[in-house]
Amino acid sequence: MDGDHSSFDLLFNPRLNKGTAFTEAERERLGLVGLLPDNVEDSGTQLERQRLQLAQKPNALEKYIYLSELQDRNERLYYQLLTSAPAEYMPLVYTPTVGEACQKFGHIMRRPKGLYVSYRRKGRIREILRNWPVEDVRFIVVTDGERILGLGDLGVCGMGIPIGKLALYTACAGVPPQHTLPVMLDVGTNNEAFLEDPLYPGLRMKRIEGPAYDEFVDEFVQAVQEVFPRCCIQFEDFTNRTAMPLLTRYRDRVCCFNDDIQGTASVAVAGLFGANRILGKQLRDHTYLFFGAGSAAVGIADLVCQQMVREGLPRAEADRRCWLVNSRGLVTAETTGLSEFQLPFAHPHGATKDLAQIVETVRPSVLVGVSTIPHSFSRAVIEAMSRINERPVVFPYSNPTSKSECTAQEAIEWSRGKAIFASGSPFPPIHYRDRLFVPGQGNNVYIYPAVGLAVFATEASRVTDEMFLRAAESLAAQVTDQDLAVNLIYPPMANIREASVEVAIRVAELIFDRGLARVPRPADVAEFVRARVYDPAYR
């Protein structure tokens, strides 16, 4: 094709395309007359068409694919749809559907999104980052694909996670999508099925490890500082072996955080604040048992301990209130092979493997699942929690749904309606003995987009644990007495946009208070943050 096709190309630029919503004046001015059906439609009509087409898809994965293609052709309409019914569409663009999408990524891939930084390009990462057409990137979600949700090593097929996470940054908290960038560090995969799959799109080699891996990640982090100096890096779905060391290495050097560690901890603490409103207690009044001893469990335990210290408990005593269970059973002072970050929670105790027996001996009032072992909160476990506690707190946080430690139905029925329940994946409302129970979803989506909006607005130089505690407090404060009456300890997902902006305002105030902002403090922080929220409506 010859000549200038800029007008025609406008229809294939997802950030600028409005499709049939281009006005008559715009069609004349931009040379679009005849390139679209003659009827000018508003976004309401377009959304009705998208909902109709989406409803005709036979399953969640096909709906995921359809929504991904909508994002590729009309970004603003995509976000209008997501924000119109977040509780309905979030499970399609992120958990639980994104898990299946990642497993089949090489087979369903259409238009590539984001950047793929291959180990084969070591020494050229700055050059690769500069290939991205936007100069002012403020948020990167990066993974190496080694521990995707509870599904394990998916290599570059884990790219669905950064893509989905960043979509929720925008849909839930209004972080402008043009400032976000999903990144996959392709360092190989140990997934034999993928290495043998002719449609696997990544490097066909075993994962690099050790110093070579560390040097590659360091080159990436330093390149981001140079190419995108106002950017915050979110580390996502790194394995337990690398997640905590990476966070420890970079958290005081660059603007970064790990959502699996800090975001998960924050949403868990928010849930505990909500549960304690029902119980009339504080965090310091509980004993905590974490089924799972990786970075997520330790991240929650550490933030819980920070809050207990704020409530007046010495740190050593706070640590003693938290217990971990790994694949070998209860983690004790005698357990060998522990990482440094697990040691504060390894206490003197006899070796015990059976979870129900551990509950009987440790006598926790809060049971948190971050194991990705489905059905591990058995009837015996829930009944033991219910014998020990008048109102046991049960949080099976593993996702997707197929990895949940128990269902809401199981927790409510086995506890005879006593459990205060929240989960990582969504479960429908339950009627039990003439009472309504609305399961809360302890989803990080309540936290990281809001923290992201605060960091975006303030151009924060660092992300701190204190910000995640502030986010937890703000989120829990938005739970109403009506919510608590049906045991719902998080704000309804339908209200997540406004809830996120409120959390972002509180976190932004803290950023200014701590001198971490790289912009002057405005007279009205709330107005300042709200003015930076992305509006997907056509203009």
CA–CA dist 229, 254 (Å, integer): 10
pLDDT > 90 in the chain, percent:
94
Residue-wise pLDDT tens digits, 146-155: 999 889 999 9
Per-residue confidence band for 2, with pLDDT thresholds at 50, 70 and 90: very low
Would you state the structure tokens that stand for residue 539, as one six-digit string? Answer: 């203009």
The pLDDT score that the predictor gives to residue 425 is 84
Long-range contacts of 311-320, Cβ-Cβ distance < 8 Å, separation of 24 or more: 311/282, 311/283, 311/284, 312/284, 313/284, 318/284, 319/344, 319/345, 320/347
Q: Give the strand pairing for 322-326 and 435-437.
A: unpaired
CA–CA dist 123, 452 (Å, integer): 29
CA–CA dist 381, 513 (Å, integer): 44
Residue-wise pLDDT tens digits, 239-262: 989 999 999 999 999 999 999 999
Q: 3-state secondary structure string, 436-449?
A: EECCEECCHHHCHH
SS3 72: helix
Distances (CA, A) of 323 to 243, 308, 317, 320: 20, 15, 12, 7
Q: Where are the beta strands (DSSP E) in 217-343?
A: 232-235, 256-258, 288-291, 322-326, 329-330
Residue-wise pLDDT tens digits, 320-368: 999 999 999 999 999 999 999 999 999 999 999 999 999 999 999 999 9
SS3 238: coil
Q: How much is the mean pLDDT over the chain? A: 96
List alpha helices for 104-232, DSSP H.
105-108, 125-130, 160-173, 192-195, 210-227
CB 176, CB 168: distance < 8 Å? no
The pLDDT score that the predictor gives to residue 1 is 34
Q: Where are the beta strands (DSSP E) in 305-417?
A: 322-326, 329-330, 366-369, 393-396
The pLDDT score that the predictor gives to residue 128 is 98
CB 367, CB 291: distance < 8 Å? yes
pTM for this structure? 0.94
Residue-wise pLDDT tens digits, 442-501: 989 999 999 999 999 999 999 999 999 999 999 999 999 999 999 999 998 889 999 999
The pLDDT score that the predictor gives to residue 5 is 54
Long-range contacts of 254-258, Cβ-Cβ distance < 8 Å, separation of 24 or more: 254/221, 254/224, 254/225, 255/231, 255/455, 255/460, 255/461, 255/462, 255/463, 256/221, 256/232, 256/463, 257/232, 257/448, 257/451, 257/463, 257/468, 258/234, 258/295, 258/299
Region 159-182: mean pLDDT is 97
Residue-wise pLDDT tens digits, 102-142: 999 999 999 999 999 999 999 999 999 999 999 999 999 99
CA–CA dist 257, 233 (Å, integer): 7
CA–CA dist 492, 81 (Å, integer): 18
How many residues are recorded in the chain? 539
When mean pLDDT is compared across 3-17, 38-52, 75-89, the lowest value belongs to 3-17
Q: Under 8 Å CB-to-CB from 130, ≥6 apart: which residues?
A: 227
How many Å is the Cα radius of gyration of the chain? 24
Region 161-176: mean pLDDT is 97
Long-range contacts of 497-500, Cβ-Cβ distance < 8 Å, separation of 24 or more: 497/83, 497/86, 497/171, 497/172, 497/173, 497/174, 499/446, 499/450, 499/475, 500/172, 500/173, 500/174, 500/446, 500/449, 500/450, 500/453
The pLDDT score that the predictor gives to residue 353 is 96
Distances (CA, A) of 483 to 325, 436, 437, 489: 32, 11, 10, 7
List alpha helices for 74-209, DSSP H.
75-84, 86-93, 97-103, 105-108, 125-130, 160-173, 192-195
Report the C-alpha dihedral over residues 49, 54, 57, 61, rounded to 10 degrees: 150
The pLDDT score that the predictor gives to residue 384 is 98
List alpha helices for 404-495, DSSP H.
408-414, 448-458, 465-477, 481-485
Judge whether residue 82 has pLDDT over 80: yes
Enumerate the active-site residues: 94, 165
Judge whether residue 278 has pLDDT over 50: yes
Of residues 1 and 6, more confidence is placed in 6
Q: Give the strand pairing for 329-330 and 322-326.
A: antiparallel
Cis preceding-peptide flag for 428 (omega within 30 of 0): no
CA–CA dist 154, 159 (Å, integer): 9
Which domains occur in the chain, in start order?
Answer: 6-90 (1.20.1370.30), 97-257 (3.40.50.10380), 262-443 (3.40.50.720), 446-530 (3.40.50.10380)
Residue-wise pLDDT tens digits, 419-451: 999 999 889 999 999 999 999 989 899 999 999
Would you state the structure tokens that stand for residue 471, as one six-digit string? Answer: 């986010």
The pLDDT score that the predictor gives to residue 333 is 96
The pLDDT score that the predictor gives to residue 539 is 87
Cis preceding-peptide flag for 133 (omega within 30 of 0): no
Report the C-alpha dihedral over residues 307, 311, 315, 321, rounded to 10 degrees: -80
Distances (CA, A) of 527 to 237, 423, 502, 506, 509: 34, 33, 11, 12, 12
Torsions phi, psi for 12 (to 5 deg): -115, 10
